[in-house]
Structure 1
Amino acid sequence: MSTQQYSLIRKLYISQPREMLLDLSALQRIGISSQRAASYAKNGWLNRIAHGLYAFPETEPSLCAGFSYLTRQIPGLHIGGDSVLGTVCEDDVAPLVLWGDSRASLPRWFVERYPVRYVHARLFDWSGAPTLGTATLERQAGLLRSTRERALLEMLYEVSCSHDLLKARDRFCAVGDVCSLTSGRLLQHCTSVKAVRLFLRLARQAQSLDVDELLGRWRVHTGSERRWIARLKDGTTLCLGPRG
């Protein structure tokens, strides 16, 4: 190895955390070209994860490292829905539910290592309140995730059968009290009538907040005054009133 090559690889090892995933832009900032990175991988100085993506030798990307890398590629990426309301860990059998702000495909190297699925939906309209969306996210163990109030709405958006309804009711009861302020802000910006009305109904059933007080305080978009009726995938008829 030439002096220049050694100097570059030494700079890389000193300046970057061992758990970090290194793409070509990160390597090029240090002065390592794509050709040199490929040479380092061939000689064992780097571990090639995918095309143009590397890790340090004998290092497999952790869930946290992979997630952190993907948040720079997919706007608004966070853990949401069921994955927040249940237990989130790398050994979970149930797929980790990831939400984002744009259509995207999770890279093969990530989905092969972790059971995950990606959901994209314009569930909230943050027009006029662009910073509110980030206020309904929190960071835990290095992972960005929805607050439980936002996660409940994300879960309800995905309800598609009677089993989902039963699970949603159980989740609501298990969560306990929810924050009226956070719930009001989210419901005011939620674009899904189904999710809003289900949230109000289940909140009443679980007695997790004062729904009437919330509706009197916030301009919640519940659609028309007529009942909202839809047939779910298993043939179940879902009928929801405007006030839950």
Structure 2
Amino acid sequence: MSIQQQYSLIRKLYTSQPREMLLDLSILQGIGISSQRAASYARNGWLRRIARGIYTFPNTELSLVVGCSYLASQITCLHLGGCSALGEVREDDAPLVLWGDNRASLPRWFVEHYSVRYVSARLFDWNDEPALHAATLERRGGLLRSAPERALLEMLYEVGSSHDVLKAREYFNTVGDVCPLASGRLLQCCTSVKAVRLYLRLVRQAKLLDVDELLGSWSVRVGSKRRWVSRLKDGTTLCLGPHG
């Protein structure tokens, strides 16, 4: 290939692709740039290699928004969830929590660039509320995030493994208002008895909702009428009544 043809490809690359996006081989090959040529461009400073077959433009900040936008094509419904979507009492050294629908491992390059961890759990059964899945996600700061009610339930799902009940209570005390309608619909879909009963207990203690009215209006999945007792991964024992 002549020097003129090479610069024509580089010009096409630079004028056709947004500066902030990640470029994989499918994008580059669509422009006419082979994997060998992409590697050559990286060696000569026209591209910056992130991982095998993944590049970005030089001097481009690889923000979390860019990384998540790229992974969103591989992990269904990738979003900032749990504690990270609430954010008010997040510890500085705590990794951000990403949730998604796929059982997957985050790529090595991703975890090397960002302090993150990934959670995938069948926390909600959306069969009766198919539109609720999307309705309880919101885009802020370029990232898809759980709405507060959904984030609280995601956070409670991890009580005993990533944080304790005291930390969970802090989130309820700082979250502000929660929506009775969103709470009822999500609790009706939530498959985790622990998360549901803890939500009822903590939302009652924080005086955010009238729990008795909520239970009278929605078919909340509290499990049996017996107390729910479980020894958690952190060694603590959790005892919850059917209404929290």
TM-score band, normalised by shorter chain: over 0.9
Q: Tell me what 2:20 maps to.
A: 19
- Secondary structure at the counterpart of residue 154 of structure 2: helix
**Distance in 1 (alpha carbons) for counterparts of 2:179 and 2:154:** 16
Q: Tell me what 1:223 maps to.
A: 223
One-letter code aligned to 1:148: P
**Distance in 1 (alpha carbons) for counterparts of 2:225 and 2:98:** 33
Q: How many residues align?
A: 243
Q: Kindly indicate whether residue 28 of structure 2 is the aligned counterpart of residue 66 of structure 1.
A: no
**Worse overlay, 124-133 or 171-180:** 124-133
Q: Which digits, 9 at most, give the CA deviation of each residue in 1:150-182, with x for residues without a partner?
A: 110011000017961001111101112200111
**Distance in 1 (alpha carbons) for counterparts of 2:92 and 2:110:** 15
**Distance in 1 (alpha carbons) for counterparts of 2:47 and 2:130:** 40
In the alignment, structure 1 segments of 5+ residues that lack a partner are none
Identical amino acids, percent of aligned pairs? 74
Large movers: runs of 4+ above 4 Å: none
**Distance in 2 (alpha carbons) for counterparts of 1:14 and 1:87:** 40
Output aligned runs, 1:178-189, within 5 Å: 178-189=178-189
Q: Tell me what 1:75 maps to.
A: 76
Deviation of the 1:131 alpha carbon: 2.7
**Distance in 1 (alpha carbons) for counterparts of 2:49 and 2:162:** 45
Matched-pair contact (CA < 8 Å) for 1:12–1:30:
yes
Q: Which digits, 9 at most, give the CA deviation of each residue in 1:102-123, with x for residues without a partner?
A: 1111111121121111111110
What TM-score do you get using the length of structure 1 for normalisation?
0.93
Matched-pair contact (CA < 8 Å) for 1:176–1:206:
no
Matched-pair contact (CA < 8 Å) for 1:228–1:242:
yes
**Worse overlay, 127-136 or 7-16:** 127-136
One-letter code aligned to 2:36: Q
Structure 1 residues 138 and 125: CA distance shift in structure 2, 3 A: same
Output aligned runs, 1:139-154, within 5 Å: 139-154=139-154
